[in-house]
Amino acid sequence: MAKKKKKKKWQKKVGFFVLVRNYTALFSTWVLNLNMFGLSLRSVCSPGFNCHGCPWATCACPVGIATFGSALHVLPAMAIATILTLGALLGRLVCAFACPFGLLQELLYKIPGPKIKLPRWTRYLKYAALLLLVLVLPFWLGFEQEGYLRIDQAKFVSADDAAEEEEDPEEDPEEDPEEDPEEDPEEDPEEDPEEDPEEEEEFTLKVHLTVTNLGEKPISNPEVDIILHEKPDKKDDPLGKEVDRKKHRFDSITIAPGETKALPVIRVEDTREEHVLFVDSPQSRVEQTPRHDLYYCKLCPAGCLTATLPRLISTPEETWGKKILDNALKLGITLFFIVLMVLVSRPFCRTFCPLGATYALCSPLALSGMVYDSDKCTKCGLCAKVCPTDLDPTRQLGSKDCILCGDCKKVCPTGAIKRTFGLKRPAQKFRTEPPDQGG
C-alpha cells in the first residue's frame, strides 16, 4: 500500500486559508439564494456570478441585466452601478471570496487526476465574451417578439346600462314608436329565439373588448381574463385581494401584427356591487426570444446548472430527448466546463466570465490590491505554485488576472507580498527572471 505523502508546512498553511476562502464563498452562496426562504431582492444586483433565473436566487444577475438591457437598447444603470462600485472598491477580490461559481471551480479542481495549464492567450477570451455576448450582439440582434396583445378598450355593459344608452336625449320628437305599423301588440316577447331568459339571468354583464397586436407575429386564438378583486371599504383604501379569474379564449380568431380588432362580446355575471372588475390577457406580456441564441444568458453554464436544469426536471410532460435537443448547445458548454474544472484551476473565471472581465478592467483603479517587495523575495517559487489562476506573483501580482485571493501571501516565508487598501499603492518592482521551482 502506497504511503501517504506528508504535507509540508507551507502546504498546510495555504490549505487552511483556501478552506477559509471556500467557507466565505459558501456563506455568500447561501446569502445569494435566500429566496428559498422567501427573501427576494431582485432590484439589487448580485456581487458574484449567480443566475437570477434560479428560483432560489435572492438578487438579480448583473450580467443578465446588462445583456437584456443591451438587447432592449436600454441603459442597465443598476447593473453598471453595482459592478463599477464593487470593482472600484474590491477589484477581483469578489471572485475569490464571494462568487458561487468560483466555489464550484475550487471544489471540482480538488478531484484527483491529471492537471493541465491553459495557454496564456485564453485569458483574453473573457473580454471577448463581455464585448460580443453581453454588449454587441444583443444590441445588434435585439429580440424577436412572439406577440404582444394590448387591450385598447374594455367596456362593461349591463342590461340597465344598455337601456339607459337606448334613451337617447337627441331622439327625433316626430318619431312616435307607438305608430310603428310593423309592431304587433299581441306578439309574445318570450317567443324571441335570440333571447334566453336563463342565460340572461346567469350572465347579466356584457364585456365589449377592442385589442391591438403590437408584436411582430400574428396572435392566434387570443385569450382574455376577467379578474375580480374585493372592493375596498373606503375610497382611499387599497384594492382588495383577487377573488376570481375567469378565462376566455377566442378560437379561430387571428390578429395580424399591427391590427386592431373588436372581439366577440363576453357575458359574465354582474358582481360590480361586491367586486372591482379588470380585464387582462396572458398574451399582454412580451414574449421575447433572443435571436440565434447568441446572448450570454443562452450559453451561460451557471444559468444552466441553477435555472435550466431545474426547469427541465420540473417539466415531465416533455421527453428527455426533446429537452436535451432543445438545449443542446447550453448543456454542451456546461458539460465542457465541468470537465475542464476538474483538469484546470478556475478555467471559467479565466476564459468565459464577463463579470470577472469587468472586475478585471476595474482592478487597476480599485482600492483593494496587493503589492510585491522584490527586496524581500528569496525566489523560492512557492507563490507561483499556489496561485489558483496560474500566475507568477513575482511578475504579475495585482494584474487584471489576479483575483487577490491572498494564497501567495500566506505561503511567502519572508513577507514579500502584502495586501493593501487605499487610493495609493506602493510602487512595485517585479522580477524579470523566472522564479526557482524549489521548495
- Whether 160 shows a pLDDT value over 90: the answer reads no
Q: What is the mean pLDDT of residues 101-107?
A: 94
Residue pair 12/411 in contact by the 8 Å Cβ criterion: no
- Whether 32 shows a pLDDT value over 80: the answer reads yes
3-state secondary structure of 227: strand
What are the backbone angles phi and psi of residue 53, rounded to the nearest 5°? -75, -15
Q: What is the mean pLDDT of residues 270-299?
A: 83
Phi-psi region of 286 (alpha: psi -120 to 50; beta: other; left: phi over 0): beta
Q: What is the mean pLDDT of residues 82-86?
A: 91
**What average pLDDT does the chain have?**
84
Task: Please report which helix (H) or strand (E) contains residue 65, including its range.
Answer: helix 62-71
CA 30 – CA 24 distance, rounded (Å) = 10
Cα→Cα distances 276→225, 232, 266, 279, Å: 14, 9, 17, 10
Domain boundaries, the chain: 9-143+291-359, 149-164+196-286
- Whether 314 shows a pLDDT value over 90: the answer reads no
Band of pLDDT at residue 291, cut at 50, 70 and 90:
confident
Question: How are the residues of the chain apportioned to helix, strand and coil, as percentages rounded to the nearest 5?
Answer: 40, 20, 40
Strand partners, 220: 254
Cα→Cα distances 30→39, 47, 182, 297, 309, Å: 12, 13, 80, 22, 19
What are the backbone angles phi and psi of residue 246, rounded to the nearest 5°? -100, 120
Q: What is the mean pLDDT of residues 119-142?
A: 94
Domain 149-164+196-286 is of which CATH architecture? Sandwich (2.60)
Band of pLDDT at residue 296, cut at 50, 70 and 90:
very high
CA 124 – CA 365 distance, rounded (Å) = 20
| DSSP state at residue 413 | T
- Whether 185 shows a pLDDT value over 70: the answer reads no
CA 177 – CA 109 distance, rounded (Å) = 92
CA 301 – CA 333 distance, rounded (Å) = 7
* pLDDT at res. 19: 86
* pLDDT at res. 423: 80
